[in-house]
Structure 1
Amino acid sequence: MSSAGSPTRRPSASGATISRFEHPASRQDICRISEALVEQFIASFSSPPKNLILDLDHSEDVGYQNVS
């Protein structure tokens, strides 16, 4: 049953959300995007930085944050 004709019901997901499930990114896609983002970041400097630290920890543990 379509919810398009009902003014009280909203679609449960947008087309973009459904597309993410239908066309997931492969591991190779994610690696290519990651490389492109790092290259773009490095290219934003007048000269490439000597060191680049990537903090990939996704946790929100306060114990690891510098709290003032």
Structure 2
Amino acid sequence: MSKYNIANSTKEQREKYVVDALAINSLGAEPLTKENRDLLQSYVDGKIELKDLRKKIINKYKKH
């Protein structure tokens, strides 16, 4: 999982990781909300680690 860390990846790599994940998501999951897409962009931009992003999304759905 460390290859996905901001320190170990370029913005271009993170962008590809997200594009690949979105492609998999499109095979049958619900479309992402704007809020979740914005969180993914924060990861691509190097503002939030993937593990923290995942926690935020999980916590958001636990509250509902």
TM-score (norm 1): 0.37
Larger radius of gyration, structure 1 or 2? 1
Compare the two structures and name the one with the higher helix fraction: 2
Q: Which protein has greater RCO, CA pairs closer than 8 Å, 6+ apart?
A: 2
